[in-house]
Structure 1
Amino acid sequence: MCATQDNAETADNSATAQHQHVHRLANGLTLLTEKVPNVRSTAMILMVPAGAALDPATALGSANVLSDWILRGAGQRNSRELSE
């Protein structure tokens, strides 16, 4: 399933078109994309619905431990390897 949303906004009497797309993958992941004209780079952010508020009662603090592992590294992997 792929839904497309195109918005046109006017600022300072010049129109800029934004092309935003919502992609729902088979595994349930939602991917949001936006094409920005004249930009030759990619930026990405991963947002996970998690955190201390969602820690199970039997594993309190697990979100904090996971965030430390991602920032500092864990085992044989450093933070850069975990983020790749």
Structure 2
Amino acid sequence: INDFSYLHTNCFELSIYVGCDKYPHESELPEEWENNRESLIVFMEQVHRGIKGVVKDVHGKGIPNAVISVEGVNHDVRTG
């Protein structure tokens, strides 16, 4: 579903697995958290990178369905 969501809804989804065991036992979770906490937090901080903003007309009103293109990226997005 990740590729479909990105291509058809402009929603960027990720599935992250931190080991070979997709469903670790409850007793293993604290150790898995400690082993991966810092890298997961740094990864989540990346949400603050990139291009952000609001597309407005000359009167300050939002423009629905405006197409946003980035040179070198073969995936346009639209405003809501």
Normalising by structure 1, we get a TM-score of 0.26
Normalising by structure 2, we get a TM-score of 0.26
**Relative CO higher for 1 or 2, CA cutoff 8 Å, sep ≥ 6?**
2
Structure with higher strand content:
1
